[in-house]
Structure 1
Amino acid sequence: MSAQVEKTTPERPLKTVSLRRRVTVWVLLLLVLVLTVMGLVVNWLLGDALRSDLQQRLEDKAGYAAVLQEQGVTGQTLADRLAGNGVFSTFTSGRQEYIGRDNGPPAAGPGRGGGGPHPAKPVPTVTPAIVFSESDGQLIAQVALPDGQLMLSTTESDVANTLARLQQIELLAGGATVVIAGLLLVTVVRAALRPLERMSGLARRIRDGTRGRRLRPTKANTDLGRTAAAFDDMLDALETAESQARIAEDRMRQFLADASHDLRTPLAGVIAGSEQLLRTPLGRAEREERLVQVVRQARRAARLVDDLLLMTRLDTPSDVGGPSARLYQAVDPALLLEREICLLRLRRPDLDVNLSEAQPALVSLDPDQLQRALGNLLENAATVSPVGGWIRVDRSYHDGHLSIRIIDAGPGIVEADRERIFDRFVRLSTARSGAGSGLGLPISRAIVRAGGGDLRCLPWHGGACFEIVLPATHPTPDVTPDTAKLLQHL
């Protein structure tokens, strides 16, 4: 049921959007995403670094205030000494509040100096307690000093301005990068997809009649290599199928021509004899002779039609009317050979026909068809054998296969014709073809191959040798040769 569903369910149509556009858009989107993430990370890192710098500046001011307290500086002087360089200070002692005034460049203090060497930064004996907070874009540090409470503050506007300028630079640089990358991607993707354009161009040339062209990828383990290899395999299969179809069509034409030619002769004899009987008054003896000729020609035509129908059934699969395995049964070919040899000796008593002894073996095949195949081979051997000639039939069993060789003393078959003789309507010579239709050997091979074996023409000196090879088994004790013979006669 599932196999039937797979056969009847139509495949979904392939989405044929532009691969070049898809690759370009997705790469640009990925580039925009990467640039955005990088910009956010850089902004966050730079903002954190700038805020840490502001906080460190306030910590330095708080340490400096503690040193000044230890030196006895307090009140307005302390507030003034800490103000400046973007830092605002407010010192509260008791109920008095002192607001620092920026009076220009500060005097030499910790970490600062004139033209001489910088003195070592003084370290307070007691580290002041500092509490940081943010309010309205300002960073505020509350410092507890021995003589009062100090509040230091600095604005974060410089940090915001720096980050804003950085964002502008990132937007401009990112936009330019995306535009330049898009232009480059168009060129790069076009070059990368050139093998696909070559595939489509080759397909169009093959459609227009150029055959035998292939991509022949240098590396079959890549994506394009696997696609190109599959494309070449498909072309090989299509061209092989096309060649086989042409050969089959030529064979069919030849088959129809040969069949028509072979049917025309007996039918012409039937028509001529019938017209003569109708138009010409004949005596009784001559009339009976003409009737015998008409019947003989009619039987010849009927036999040819039967052979054609048998070839058609043998070439047709069993599920649509061909040979069915239900008709197969275990049969000993030796019994069929003995029967055909007896009939042949009656027709040609001058021939010496010898059947070799061998172990009994059973094959699974339709007995009537197998007998017909063996009869065709023996009749063919008798036709080419001269008067007083001989025919030898050898049998052997090896590795589960039965071999039957039919050897005659006729003119033999050259190597170039050993396979061609199995084609339909092929007649090599008058001696070997006789009055036959040229279907005996093709029918015999088709029957043997239907049973899983093969029929070949082997090289032989002084005659022809045809060999039948079939899967076979030795009869079990329950089915002895005598029992098989009895069943065969029944």
Structure 2
Amino acid sequence: MRSGSLRLRVTLSVTIALAVVLIGLVVVVDALFSRQTVQDETNLIRDRVQLATQLENKRLVPEQLYARLSLGGLILVRITEPSGLVLEPKGAQPAATPPPKTVTYRNGTRITFFADAETRPQANLNRLLITVGVSALVVTAAALIFIVRFALRPLDQMTTLARSIAAGDRGRRLAPERTDTELGRTAAAFDDMLDGLEGAEQQARRAEAHTRQFVADAAHELRTPVAGLQAVAESVLQQNADTDPEERDRMLLLLVRESRRAGRLVDDLLALARIDAGLDLQHEPVDLRQLADAEADRTRVLAPELTVSVDGPSAVVYGDHQRLAQVLANLVNNARQATGGEGHVSLTVGAAAGFAHLIVADNGPGVPDADRERIFDRLVRLDEARARASGGSGLGLPIARGICRAHGGDLRCEPPPPGIPGAVFRITLPLVTSIDAPTVAFVRPSNPS
């Protein structure tokens, strides 16, 4: 972008425009005045010719005739006698227009009338116009320097504000009184830009702080299984050759458990990284009712004393079967741990407003109102002792929500019905409207519920 002086550009532009207008005005006035002058001189010459014709019979001497016919410099008279004597003003220069007119008397005297090129008022008028025009340009250019500086003062205010904000003075705005003018629209756009930049800066700082906290928490979580692996490995290395085989097997089993715990945590961290970068989903039609039945059968095998019920019609969505099964398994596993493996878990399938719903509810202790959104933060556990005992890392729910949102849906924790204990999680996914074509259309409202 060219960054020349705006004041100089405006001053030069206005001065040049004024010069063009003045030049055009001078040309037009000169042409009109010249035309009017020629017409007036032509009329005067015609009148003088008529007067000269009337004076022919008066038999005036040339000096008297000259005095009667002369107009004092407007129209010049030249009298040529038959003897060749010429009587005319000294230094007279006939003008090209209007053409001279000559009257010839019977005695041979010739009287010629013409306009004087040296004393015509048009020349004086041109000099006056040029003088006034140049003076007006000089005065206008000098005045524009101060006028433009005053008119562009809002731009100086924008510059001052931008520099103060760059120096760290956040929150200041121009706040224009009117936004229907050029400067008003510019100031409003400037304020909007500042709002966006400061909002992005605050968001970036929050994201940076969140990332630092997450890295610190992840390192803390990894330190426990890594320390356990190190301790068990050192114990195994320090065992003697005559160590009890059962004790050796117990130590090796503990080593495997700690390694699996560390592996699960690393896998969860990798899953979150993939969600942040964008999951590569293998889309296919998935019936949520069939998915719920399969998960209920799996849970009954793992926890025979847990009651699992499934209700609701078929609801087909278009998504990654394996990922959606992972989400449902995570929710059911949390419900099984919350109830101690001896409670009740219900899976309810439904559809409304273009969305399929799969509700996972249990009769455990439930989730406090203040924590229903916080549990979806990374590395958050409501029951630290139970979560660590079960190997949970606090990443299951964030991963599950991320998978649902990658499918165009959501995962929420809702309050249970009045008088009924437990936790309620609702999976929301777009229903399939057509699966005939490779590209599947979804009905997606702005706020799925």
TM-score range, shorter chain: 0.7 to 0.9
1:84 aligns with 2:70: yes
Q: Is the 8 A contact 2:315 2:351 kept in 1?
A: yes
1:156 aligns with 2:116: yes
| Structure-1 separation of matches of 2:415 and 2:105 | 121
1:61 aligns with 2:48: yes
- TM-aligned CA deviation for residue 231 of structure 1: 2.0
The total of aligned residue pairs comes to 422
The equivalent position to 1:263 in structure 2, one of 218, 222, 237, is 222
1:314-333 map, 5 Å: 314-317=275-278, 323-325=279-281, 327-333=282-288
The equivalent position to 1:336 in structure 2, one of 291, 297, 306, is 291
| Structure-2 separation of matches of 1:73 and 1:64 | 11
- TM-aligned CA deviation for residue 176 of structure 1: 2.6
The equivalent position to 1:448 in structure 2, one of 391, 397, 404, is 404
| Structure-2 separation of matches of 1:149 and 1:404 | 127
Q: Is the 8 A contact 1:79 1:99 kept in 2?
A: no
The equivalent position to 2:362 in structure 1, one of 402, 408, 414, is 408
Q: What's 2:157 paired with?
A: 198
The equivalent position to 1:346 in structure 2, one of 276, 297, 301, is 301
The letter for the 2-side match of 1:444 is A
Describe the SS at the equivalent of 2:394: coil
- TM-aligned CA deviation for residue 90 of structure 1: 4.0
- TM-aligned CA deviation for residue 183 of structure 1: 1.9
| Structure-1 separation of matches of 2:286 and 2:406 | 15
Q: What's 1:320 paired with?
A: none
| Structure-2 separation of matches of 1:416 and 1:233 | 34
Q: What's 2:232 paired with?
A: 273
Q: Percent identity?
A: 38
Describe the SS at the equivalent of 2:381: coil
1:225 aligns with 2:181: no
Q: What's 2:6 paired with?
A: 19
| Structure-2 separation of matches of 1:21 and 1:190 | 10
- TM-aligned CA deviation for residue 47 of structure 1: 3.3
Q: Is the 8 A contact 2:330 2:396 kept in 1?
A: yes
Describe the SS at the equivalent of 2:431: strand
Identify which range, 47-56 or 391-400, moves more after superposition.
47-56
Describe the SS at the equivalent of 2:351: strand
Describe the SS at the equivalent of 1:259: helix
- TM-aligned CA deviation for residue 136 of structure 1: 6.5
Q: Is the 8 A contact 1:458 1:464 kept in 2?
A: yes
The equivalent position to 1:459 in structure 2, one of 398, 412, 415, is 415
TM-score of the superposed pair, with normalisation by structure 1: 0.78
Q: Is the 8 A contact 1:411 1:464 kept in 2?
A: yes
Q: What's 1:127 paired with?
A: none
Q: Is the 8 A contact 1:373 1:444 kept in 2?
A: yes
Identify which range, 248-257 or 42-51, moves more after superposition.
42-51
- TM-aligned CA deviation for residue 347 of structure 1: 2.6
Q: What's 2:102 paired with?
A: 142
| Structure-1 separation of matches of 2:156 and 2:376 | 47
- TM-aligned CA deviation for residue 23 of structure 1: 0.7
| Structure-1 separation of matches of 2:11 and 2:199 | 39
Describe the SS at the equivalent of 1:427: coil
| Structure-1 separation of matches of 2:96 and 2:432 | 103
1:371 aligns with 2:357: no
1:28 aligns with 2:10: no
Q: What's 2:393 paired with?
A: 437
The letter for the 2-side match of 1:83 is L
1:294 aligns with 2:280: no
Kindly tell me: are residues 369 and 101 of structure 1, through their superposed partners in 2, closer, same or farther at Cα, counting changes over 3 Å? closer
The letter for the 2-side match of 1:354 is S
| Structure-1 separation of matches of 2:239 and 2:67 | 154
| Structure-1 separation of matches of 2:107 and 2:220 | 134
Q: Is the 8 A contact 2:38 2:97 kept in 1?
A: no
Describe the SS at the equivalent of 1:473: coil
The equivalent position to 2:142 in structure 1, one of 183, 186, 198, is 183
Q: Is the 8 A contact 1:89 1:151 kept in 2?
A: yes
1:382 aligns with 2:336: yes
Kindly tell me: are residues 411 and 159 of structure 1, through their superposed partners in 2, closer, same or farther at Cα, counting changes over 3 Å? farther
Identify which range, 194-203 or 370-379, moves more after superposition.
194-203
| Structure-1 separation of matches of 2:295 and 2:39 | 112
| Structure-1 separation of matches of 2:348 and 2:385 | 24
Describe the SS at the equivalent of 2:170: coil
The letter for the 2-side match of 1:400 is G
- TM-aligned CA deviation for residue 406 of structure 1: 0.7
| Structure-2 separation of matches of 1:273 and 1:200 | 65
- TM-aligned CA deviation for residue 411 of structure 1: 2.0
Q: Is the 8 A contact 1:138 1:154 kept in 2?
A: yes
Q: Is the 8 A contact 1:76 1:99 kept in 2?
A: no
Q: Is the 8 A contact 2:95 2:114 kept in 1?
A: no
1:7-51 alpha-carbon deviations (Å, 9 max, x no partner): xxxxxxx11111111111111122222222222333333333333
Q: What's 1:487 paired with?
A: none
Q: C-alpha root-mean-square deviation of aligned residues, in Å? A: 3.0
| Structure-2 separation of matches of 1:442 and 1:280 | 42
Q: What's 1:118 paired with?
A: none
| Structure-1 separation of matches of 2:288 and 2:44 | 112
Kindly tell me: are residues 331 and 431 of structure 1, through their superposed partners in 2, closer, same or farther at Cα, counting changes over 3 Å? farther
TM-score of the superposed pair, with normalisation by structure 2: 0.84
| Structure-1 separation of matches of 2:149 and 2:369 | 58
